[in-house]
């Protein structure tokens, strides 16, 4: 099959498709999908974006697309690409505007039966405790410029040092919640936008979701993660807010000029980039990591607010026993060492709408999880379910230790609003046992469940292909949105 006459796509097996190398491509493409998901991609520009990424200099291995792939800025959302540290490039389009948009999951000692009589109270408390929406802020946490720089440098460590969580939390965050950053590479405009947004959800597809474990696939692994049948969870999805957006915007201009300066031919201007050895790349990495640290701190604060909400509705003991399962980025570029053609090579892995999924035994994993593999968190939509997986050797060998990041959109936000115009989505979800607290109807309409692929089908592909292993399924009962 092919999405365009000029793109040749052939089936490898039930869950893999090869985009043949043609023209000026430096490598082939690899798409993870079953027949049904591939049919959904026909005519979608995201396959062309897989091809475009394959043109970039220094790409190592294939241009990869996960089963939740959809069209994005430059790179497809659901895309993974690795670049040689000496010959490769870094591209802001391979990270996206919401740097370190990611998810974290909290496990609680509460059961769903214990929660139901107090569900409305908890939903209301969380909505009032955790600011949400486009311009949301906390006046009591408006940061001075020096303090903001400390957030950008230290990430989640800064939040824990301020009393927003414990050292134990840092054991369960990708990279310990702190990347090597340079706050001086972040513009004053970006810093001003981020000064009073730390600890806020934001709008769009970001959320705080109360749910429960409704199915366990691997009891031993689930127990290690603090998940048991019927136990209540809190899912948090947010990123670097206006600060990260501004960092991306600032460096897109820089990278357009850099690509021209270094003679890099681009199949799409949105793939603007710079050689990893260049000063432009080093500045972007310093700023991107600073924004990523901001996002880690942001989610750490929201965990604290969620625990405070649980304490108010249940008890302080409940809050103290609410544990961080994991926090993982899904919009990031990072230097990592991988075995490629039998040799260890240091590469810069771009994950845009893709989740790190390191296998058992990987030295970067904390000893708490090193023997079972990295926890992988895959949110769905607000009407169905989400999944918890663990990383695999297959992912490490085939996808640079990466897997999907969610369901993936099927409709644009405009299309979703049009479909929802004559409906009362809040009432529909309430009839399904799901409470919604949101700042506007617009956000709810844009995020109707059918705007997304069925995440169960996406997870079926990654599980069957061996690039993630199912542990548990979560059902939502209350969702807080901007």
Residues 6+ apart with CB under 8 A from 294: 100, 151, 152, 155, 194, 198, 240, 241, 243, 244
E strands in 320-451:
323-329, 331-340, 343-352, 355-356, 375-378, 386-390, 402-403, 435-438
DSSP assigned state of 274: E
346: its two tokens: 């240091």
Distance CA 76, CA 47 (A): 8
Query: What b/e string do you get for 446-466 counting C-beta neighbours within 10 Å, with b at 16 or more?
Result: bbbbebbbbbbbbbbbbbebb
Q: Which helix (H) or strand (E) holds 61?
A: strand 59-70
Q: Name which of 467, 398, 397, 464 is nearest 35 in CA terms.
A: 464
Burial label for 345, CB within 10 Å (0-12, 13-18, 19+), is: middle
Residues 6+ apart with CB under 8 A from 94: 53, 74, 75, 79, 81, 271, 273, 333, 350, 352
Helix (H) or strand (E) holding 233: strand 231-238
Compute the residue count for the chain. Answer: 482
* DSSP per-residue codes, 108-126: EEEEHHHHGGGHHHHHHHH
463 is catalytic: no
Question: Cα(251)–Cα(258) distance, rounded to whole angstroms?
Answer: 10
Residue of 55, 70, 405, 463 with catalytic role = 405
Contacts of 372-375 spanning 24+ positions with Cβ under 8 A: 372/221, 372/224, 373/469, 374/326, 374/328, 375/105, 375/172, 375/225, 375/325, 375/326, 375/328, 375/471
Helix axes 279-313, 119-129, angle to 10 degrees: 140
Interstrand relation of 102-111 and 207-216 (parallel, antiparallel or unpaired): unpaired
Catalytic residue IDs: 405
């Amino acid at each position: 099959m092919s999405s365009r006459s000029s793109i040749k796509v052939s089936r490898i097996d039930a869950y893999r498709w090869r985009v043949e190398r043609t023209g000026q491509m430096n490598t082939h493409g690899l798409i993870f999908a079953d027949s049904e998901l591939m049919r959904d991609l026909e005519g979608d520009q995201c396959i062309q974006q897989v091809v475009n990424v394959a043109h970039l200099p220094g790409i190592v291995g294939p241009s990869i697309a996960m089963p939740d792939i959809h069209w994005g800025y430059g790179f497809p959302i659901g895309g993974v690409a690795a670049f040689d540290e000496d010959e490769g490039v870094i591209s802001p389009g391979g990270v996206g505007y919401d740097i370190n948009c990611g998810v974290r999951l909290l496990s609680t000692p509460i059961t769903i039966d214990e929660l139901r009589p107090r569900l409305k109270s908890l939903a209301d408390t969380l909505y009032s405790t955790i600011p949400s929406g486009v311009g949301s802020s906390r006046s009591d946490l408006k940061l001075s410029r020096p303090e903001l720089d400390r957030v950008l440098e230290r990430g989640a460590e800064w939040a824990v040092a301020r009393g927003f969580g414990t050292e134990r939390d840092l054991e369960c965050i990708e990279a310990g919640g702190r990347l090597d950053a340079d706050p001086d590479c972040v513009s004053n405009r970006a810093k001003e936008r981020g000064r009073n947004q730390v600890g806020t959800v934001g709008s769009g597809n970001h959320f705080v979701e109360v749910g429960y474990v409704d199915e366990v696939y691997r009891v031993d692994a689930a127990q290690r993660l603090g998940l048991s049948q019927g136990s209540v969870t809190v899912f948090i999805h947010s990123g670097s807010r206006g600060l990260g957006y501004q960092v991306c915007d600032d460096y897109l201009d820089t990278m357009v000029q850099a690509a021209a300066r270094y003679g890099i031919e681009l199949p799409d201007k949105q793939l603007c980039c710079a050689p990893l050895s260049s000063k432009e790349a080093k500045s972007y990495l310093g700023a991107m990591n600073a924004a990523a640290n901001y996002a880690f701190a942001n989610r750490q604060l929201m965990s604290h607010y969620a625990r405070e909400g649980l304490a108010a509705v249940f008890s302080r003991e409940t809050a103290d026993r609410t544990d961080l399962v994991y926090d993982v980025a899904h919009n990031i570029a990072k230097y990592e060492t991988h075995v490629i053609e039998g040799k260890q090579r240091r590469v810069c892995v771009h994950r845009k709408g893709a989740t790190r999924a390191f296998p058992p035994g990987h030295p970067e994993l904390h000893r708490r999880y090193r023997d079972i593999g990295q926890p992988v968190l895959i949110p769905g939509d607000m009407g169905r379910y989400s999944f918890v997986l663990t990383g695999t050797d297959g992912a490490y060998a085939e996808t640079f230790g990466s897997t999907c990041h969610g369901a993936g959109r099927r409709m644009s936000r405009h299309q979703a609003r049009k479909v929802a115009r004559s409906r009362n989505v809040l009432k529909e979800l309430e009839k399904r046992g799901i409470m919604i607290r949101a700042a506007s109807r617009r956000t709810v309409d844009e995020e109707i469940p059918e705007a997304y692929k069925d995440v169960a089908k996406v997870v079926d592909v990654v599980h069957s292909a061996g690039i993630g292993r199912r542990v548990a399924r979560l059902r939502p009962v209350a969702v807080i949105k901007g």
